[in-house]
Structure 1
Amino acid sequence: MDPTPGTPDQDANSRFDDEDYPAYSMGRAAEILGVTQVFLRSLDSAGLITPQRSEGGHRRYSRYQLELAGRVRELLDRGTAVDAACRIVALEDQLAEALRANEVLERSRREGPG
């Protein structure tokens, strides 16, 4: 039986699919990425990712933020400095967003007015 829209089960399912939902505690995020909590705090200080805060003030990370942090870690493992890795990841993210926006505009231009 499908959950009724607006019920806790339905809301939980939609959050599960939302890559921006802050589902991971700092400890769990660090464990998933194989990094330290200090590393995650450094990405926050660098301005690359800003985790949401729980009511108790604890950092909460989304899947999307973990993807960015994982990319930084890959660059660090290849010898890139932290500041440079954060800048590279930020620029890659901006480029991906611009390409998505361009694709939407191109599609709407080809389809013409509704």
Structure 2
Amino acid sequence: MYKIGAVGDKDSILAFKSIGIDVFPAIDGKEARNIIDSLAEENYGLIFVTEHIAQHIEETILRYKKKLVPAIILIPSNQGSLGIGMNDINKNVEKAVGSNIFANSDK
């Protein structure tokens, strides 16, 4: 059975602990990269990563997007959203459906 983890600044990911998700605070991109690589080897199937950390480890995120496991999901931090996670969702929906069904319509 796969485990679930969350990586990011402590204040943003601490709430995940209350619902049974393992939390791994990271201060910078290097630390986050090491944590994510370690989690991937330790049978984590889903890893939530805050957008503020993800922007510093784009190559690591892209490397795992090419693999089935672990799935890396970008989430906003307590400082707000950078729009990176939502942009990824829109791209994946457009790829799967053929058009972005979430796009705002002016009609």
TM-score for the superposition, normalised by structure 2: 0.29
**Structure with greater strand share of residues:** 2
Larger Rg: 1
Report the TM-score when normalising by structure 1.
0.28
